[in-house]
């Protein structure tokens, strides 16, 4: 696919690298000459220097022939303008724009009413807020991810040295009579990613992901030794940027006592006019004295949401040492993610990975509904609709030869039924199927199982 990316920042470069690895032709428009040089050295992409809001620049970049436009500059206005120009002067079938304003919902509505055909307006802060809301009451869980409109759940957790299942194989866990419809879908062990089989052993230090249904989520968590907090009373937030303010607003609505720490006095003053009940403190969230003075000990959740990865890691480690029950850190450098888990930080969220996930669902072959990327892009969960005539439809799973490193985690039927399937289950046309796979296996998996039947055309 020919893809044009407006903007050459770190997030756009991450998207470009992923798209290039999957065989797409990528052109990047970037106005900064030094950044253009860096992109040319690090990516196998065409780099055009210029203003992405200029017709001439986009024409030079091949706008007329592009099949997909991704507008990811640091200007919301230019991103929306790029989509307008693509609609007028190209055959682009897919247009995606990132916006940072909290008014993104209004822009989405206005665009639809004016006939501006943007397939997705991406506001990663919203996705991050939803992830935080799902895990903030569960101290032992790193993620709770939704598939099939929430009917399928995937949660992550660490295997501790004193976990009752440490050292046991997947088969031995199955023999311990777990609740129905659950499956260990992925194991992260150091730098290794494992799609497990029955003889696979769970070692202390592993980070595992378990797939189950919404109905059985609480029972499966209890089986694995995880208890939800019935309620949370106190939450600390470090960082007064948009995502921190949004999370504070949501927690206020739930009656939670929120304390937000921000270094910049002017930012503190502004936040105080937005939030009604949150206590806003000017201070350094990476300073132990500040955290102790503000009584962080025993806090139900501590959320480090500044724009600085290192500050978020330091603040989270301090809070954990001082007794915070749940710790969440915003991390954008992907190479930090494995380290963060090993350091004991419960949950990490990434704006850049969120953007990649939302873009990939429009690039993948077949009818892909969602893509979720894990850690350093090493593994994925792919949710798709099984097309009539596809190779895997109508066959029992035990009779299908999936690529090594891929597994069917769950199936949601057209009639509303959901299951975590065993070998005697067959995929039917129209089913939502959730695959867990190594990133390196995705092209092979697509070729074998995700392609539309012969005769169908289009990239969606």
**Burial (0-12, 13-18, 19+ Cβ within 10 Å), 381:** buried
Same domain membership, residue 95 and residue 23: yes
Same domain membership, residue 94 and residue 65: yes
**Burial (0-12, 13-18, 19+ Cβ within 10 Å), 100:** middle
Number of domains in the chain: 3
Residue 192 lies in a domain: no
Q: Of 122, 156, 184, which residue constitutes the final position of a domain? A: 122
Same domain membership, residue 22 and residue 106: yes
CA distance 134 to 359: 23
Residue 152 lies in a domain: no
- CB neighbours of 103 closer than 8 A, spacing ≥ 6? none
CA distance 139 to 128: 17
Give backbone dihedrals phi and psi of 419, rounded to 5 degrees, phi first: -155, 155
DSSP-derived 3-state class of residue 388: coil
Pairing type for strands 46-49 and 25-30 reads parallel
**5 has which bridge partners?**
28, 70
The band of 364, judged by pLDDT with boundaries at 50, 70 and 90, is confident
Q: Which residue has the tokens 């079938």?
A: 93
Alpha carbon of residue 381 to chain centroid: 10
Residue 130 lies in a domain: no
Mean pLDDT to the nearest integer, 365-383: 84
Same domain membership, residue 57 and residue 8: yes
DSSP category for residue 449: I
Residue 321 lies in a domain: yes
Residue 245 lies in a domain: yes
The string of DSSP codes covering 136-157 is TT-TTEEEEEEETTTTEEEEEE
pTM: 0.86
CA distance 191 to 133: 28
CA distance 241 to 129: 12
Same domain membership, residue 337 and residue 273: yes
pLDDT tens-digit profile of 186-206?
999 988 899 998 899 999 999
DSSP category for residue 221: H
Same domain membership, residue 272 and residue 369: no
Of 39, 85, 44, 38, nearest to 66 by C-alpha is: 85
Residue 388 lies in a domain: yes
Q: Of 122, 153, 174, which residue constitutes the final position of a domain? A: 122
CA distance 355 to 332: 11
Mean pLDDT to the nearest integer, 266-292: 96
CA distance 277 to 259: 9
CA distance 363 to 156: 27
- The CATH number covering residue 98 comes to 3.40.50.720
Q: Give me the pLDDT at residue 460, please.
A: 30
Residue 220 lies in a domain: no
Q: Residue 250 has which token pair?
A: 């949501």
pLDDT tens-digit profile of 24-79?
999 999 999 999 999 999 999 999 999 999 999 999 999 999 999 999 999 999 99
Percent of the chain at pLDDT exceeding 90 = 64
Mean pLDDT taken over the chain: 90
Residue 104 lies in a domain: yes
DSSP-derived 3-state class of residue 358: helix
Give the other-Cβ count within 10 Å of 360's Cβ: 21
What kind and span of H or E run contains 329?
strand 327-330
Same domain membership, residue 359 and residue 345: no
Same domain membership, residue 337 and residue 378: no
Range of lowest pLDDT (257-266, 381-390, 444-453):
444-453
Residue 303 near residue 259, CB atoms below 8 Å: no
The string of DSSP codes covering 165-202 is TTT-BHHHHHHT-PPSSEEEEEEEETTEEE---TTPBP
Same domain membership, residue 396 and residue 321: no
Q: Of 122, 137, 159, which residue constitutes the final position of a domain? A: 122
Same domain membership, residue 366 and residue 342: no
Range of the domain at 118: 2-122
CA distance 425 to 68: 37
pLDDT tens-digit profile of 81-122?
999 999 988 888 899 999 988 777 787 788 778 778 888 888
- 251 pLDDT exceeds 90? yes
Angstrom CA distances, 165 to 30, 170, 202, 227, 264, stand at: 51, 9, 7, 16, 46
Same domain membership, residue 337 and residue 364: no
- CB neighbours of 245 closer than 8 A, spacing ≥ 6? 260, 271, 274, 275
- The CATH number covering residue 437 comes to 3.30.70.1450
Same domain membership, residue 379 and residue 280: no
């Amino acid at each position: 696919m020919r893809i044009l990316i407006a903007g050459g920042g770190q997030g756009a470069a991450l998207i470009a690298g992923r798209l290039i690895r999957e065989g797409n032709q990528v052109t990047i428009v970037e106005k900064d000459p030094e950044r253009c040089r860096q992109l040319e050295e690090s990516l196998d992409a065409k780099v055009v220097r210029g203003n992405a809001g200029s017709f001439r620049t986009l024409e030079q970049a091949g706008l007329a022939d592009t099949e997909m436009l991704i507008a990811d500059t640091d200007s919301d206005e230019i991103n929306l303008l790029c989509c307008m120009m693509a609609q007028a002067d190209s055959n682009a079938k897919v247009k995606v724009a990132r916006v940072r304003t909290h008014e993104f919902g209004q822009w989405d509505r206005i665009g639809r009413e004016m006939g501006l055909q943007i397939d997705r307006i991406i506001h990663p802060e919203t996705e991050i807020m939803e992830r935080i809301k799902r895990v903030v009451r569960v101290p032992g869980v790193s993620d709770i991810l939704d598939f099939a409109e929430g009917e399928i759940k995937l949660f992550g957790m660490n295997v501790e040295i004193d976990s009752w299942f440490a050292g046991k194989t997947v088969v031995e866990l199955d023999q311990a009579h777990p609740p129905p419809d659950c499956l260990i879908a992925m194991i992260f062990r150091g730098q290794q990613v494992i799609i497990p089989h029955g003889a696979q052993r769970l070692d202390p230090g592993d980070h595992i992901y378990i797939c189950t249904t919404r109905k059985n989520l609480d029972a499966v968590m209890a089986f694995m030794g995880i208890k939800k907090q019935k309620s949370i009373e106190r939450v600390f937030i470090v960082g007064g940027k948009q995502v921190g303010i949004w999370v504070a607003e949501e927690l206020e609505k739930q009656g939670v006592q929120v304390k937000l720490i921000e270094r910049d006095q002017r930012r503190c003053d502004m936040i105080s006019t937005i939030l009604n009940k949150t206590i806003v403190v000017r201070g350094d969230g990476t300073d132990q004295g500040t955290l102790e003075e503000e009584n962080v000990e025993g806090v139900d959740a501590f959320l480090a949401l500044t724009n600085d990865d290192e500050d978020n890691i330091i603040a989270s480690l301090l809070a954990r040492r001082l007794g915070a029950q749940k710790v969440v850190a915003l991390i954008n450098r992907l190479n930090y993610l494995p380290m963060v888990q090993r350091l004991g930080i419960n949950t990490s969220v990434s704006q850049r990975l969120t953007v990649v996930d939302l873009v990939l669902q429009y690039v993948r072959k077949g009818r892909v509904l969602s893509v979720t990327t894990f850690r350093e892009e090493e593994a994925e969960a792919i949710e798709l609709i099984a097309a009539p005539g596809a190779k895997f439809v109508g066959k029992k799973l035990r009779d299908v030869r999936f690529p090594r490193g891929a597994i069917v985690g769950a199936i949601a039927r057209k009639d509303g039924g959901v299951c975590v399937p065993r070998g005697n289950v067959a995929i039917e046309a129209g089913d939502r199927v959730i695959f867990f796979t190594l990133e390196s296996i995705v092209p092979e998996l697509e070729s074998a199982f995700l392609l539309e039947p012969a005769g169908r055309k289009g990239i969606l």
